[in-house]
């Protein structure tokens, strides 16, 4: 199934996010020989529809994420996440697209009206030094109007691969539906509403305001994954043993952002 995803990312990624933040970078490339969508409209539309039909939805990923440990007044305890299901791959829209035939420089905007990630979780922690939070189940995360602005260069020698991959991620809002907290349905609904509010107060603006920094972390990881798949070394089993230093910094920054803002909330 990941070969379909590789094809989706490596073949479909041939457009221009001209209305996005990435456009500034793309404009510096001084591209020539551009093919606008209308010049290949029939071929592009047919390819997109064929890829849409072949994409798995949902996509179940066997993934073990390193345990997150917290030890301060805001959160003290552990959180384990694993085996996410990704729902909504086939709902993509392509509002902007451009292909430079000279050098095979490709860039586009992908828009997912609703993109859902459903990992399983297990947690045992204390919030604000007094509130115990524990449980396990599914944490449904809805990323509404998720936009991916991408750029890559497609190479065929010595074998098919991509390079200089870049992705900027922005979204409109986040909704969470967490099952199994305190093993109580009513509390889970209440906690999900609170978590959704906090996510849109802190996480959504953090992602949008730090799209470049997040891209610095994600782009090389995604490029490596796509090239592994294109080389035939793909597997849906992708255990992660250590987070990258850049990812650790991002998590800590977001954690401190929420922690410092708490006095102004309560």
CA 55/CA 138 separation, integer angstroms: 23
Q: Which band of pLDDT confidence, cut at 50, 70 and 90, is reported for residue 144?
A: very high
Structure-token pair, residue 217: 């972390």
Supply the pLDDT for residue 116.
Answer: 96
Q: Which band of pLDDT confidence, cut at 50, 70 and 90, is reported for residue 20?
A: very low
Between residues 230 and 262, which one has the greater pLDDT?
230
Supply the pLDDT for residue 66.
Answer: 86
CA 92/CA 90 separation, integer angstroms: 6
Burial 215-238 (b: 16+ CB within 10 A, else e): bebbbeebbebbbbbbeeebeeee
Does residue 34 register a pLDDT over 50? no
pTM: 0.70
Supply the pLDDT for residue 252.
Answer: 58
Cα-based angle 258, 259, 262 (whole degrees, multiple of 5): 85
pLDDT in tens, 209-222: 999 999 999 999 88
CA 154/CA 13 separation, integer angstroms: 10
Answer whether the bond into residue 260 is a cis peptide, omega within 30°: no
CA 99/CA 121 separation, integer angstroms: 41
Q: What is the mean pLDDT of residues 174-194?
A: 94
Q: What are the φ and ψ backbone dihedral angles of 195, each rounded to 5 degrees?
A: -65, -40
Q: What is the mean pLDDT of residues 189-202?
A: 92
Does residue 48 register a pLDDT over 60? yes
């Amino acid at each position: 199934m990941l070969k379909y995803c590789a094809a989706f990312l490596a073949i479909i990624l041939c457009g221009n996010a001209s209305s996005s933040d990435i456009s500034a970078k793309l404009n510096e490339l001084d591209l020539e020989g551009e093919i606008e969508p209308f010049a290949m409209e029939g071929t592009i539309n047919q390819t997109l529809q064929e890829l849409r039909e072949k994409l798995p939805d949902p996509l179940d990923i066997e993934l073990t994420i390193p345990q997150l440990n917290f030890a301060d007044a805001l959160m003290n305890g552990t959180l384990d996440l694993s085996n996410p299901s990704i729902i909504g791959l086939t709902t993509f829209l392509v509002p902007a697209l451009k292909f430079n035939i000279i050098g095979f420089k490709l860039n586009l905007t992908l828009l997912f009206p609703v993109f859902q990630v459903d990992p399983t979780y297990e947690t045992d922690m204390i919030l604000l030094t007094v509130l115990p939070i524990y449980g396990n189940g599914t944490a449904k995360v809805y990323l509404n109007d998720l936009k991916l602005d991408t750029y890559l260069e497609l190479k065929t020698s010595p074998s098919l691969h991509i390079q200089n991959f870049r992705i900027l991620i922005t979204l409109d809002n986040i909704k969470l539906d967490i099952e199994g907290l305190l093993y109580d349905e009513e509390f889970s609904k209440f906690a999900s509403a609170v978590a959704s509010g906090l996510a849109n107060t802190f996480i959504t603006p953090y992602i949008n305001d730090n799209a470049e920094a997040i891209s610095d972390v994600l782009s090389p990881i995604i490029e490596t994954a796509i090239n592994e798949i294109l080389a035939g070394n793909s597997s849906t089993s992708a255990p992660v043993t250590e987070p990258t230093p850049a990812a650790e910094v991002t998590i800590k920054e977001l954690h401190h952002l929420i922690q410092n803002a708490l006095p102004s909330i309560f």
